[in-house]
Structure 1
Amino acid sequence: MNEIEIHAQVATVDCWSCGAEFIIASAIRLTRGDETAECDIADFTEFPQLAATLSDCLSAIANLGPLKLRHSATVGGSYFSNGCAHCDALFGRHFEIATRNEERLGASFTAPAVDGWGKMLGDLLASNDGHLF
């Protein structure tokens, strides 16, 4: 199979910094045939071109916070993350976990495996904990 199916889940959250309500990309599922892996935005840190594609596919969702590389003092480094649509405060992956019961489908699309999606899926499947970051 030369194509990867991508399904992005979203959830509504409140910003820890400004209190505004906004939307985050909470989980992304990649599937090729019978191989499936689920990841979060932080796992796109080594795949910025795929993060840009994902962001473009989610752009029609009103109030979606920007997906971009941000510095985290807690982590002591930078990683791709969700951010508040109003003040751009980092919404860390630790808090994304709490949204799992509120998720809904935000976007689905298919992409060629050769565009990096196949490598990302393979790396996720080969990782010890199912994550790349």
Structure 2
Amino acid sequence: MNSFFVSAFLLLLPILLFFIPKSFDKKLNLPPSPPRLPIIGNLHQLEKLPYRSLEVLSKKYGLLMLLNLGQVPTLVVSSPNLVGEIMNNHNVIFSNRPQTTATKILLYDNNIIGFAPYGECWRQARKICP
């Protein structure tokens, strides 16, 4: 009896992992994104020369698209004009680096100027190291 439940759970787990992230994406106002795999995301769609793969994807999904590189959502902008608009209007949002467990452990909780999130800590470090 227990082996039946374990088998049923193991069969349903991949299905849940495949469909649950898609249901969350529909609720958010995200840019278009190519289909992705559960763990590697869109890495399988990037070939030996990634810029060529990104060019093909941008022709299909537009100048602004969302790729998941592994588990990291990445915004890909394929237009210099759009990059300028994003950096002028939303610079505070995009000025931070991603915070990972490794950088928190190795870099003193991301308090080194190169990895510090924009805020009071970053401004203080910037005053010390102009």
Q: TM-score range by the shorter chain?
A: under 0.3
**Would you tell me which structure has more strand in proportion to its own residues?**
1
**Would you tell me which structure has more helix in proportion to its own residues?**
2
For normalisation by structure 2, the TM-score amounts to 0.24
Structure ranking higher on relative contact order (CA contacts 8 Å, 6+ apart)? 1
For normalisation by structure 1, the TM-score amounts to 0.24
| Bigger Rg over Cα | 2
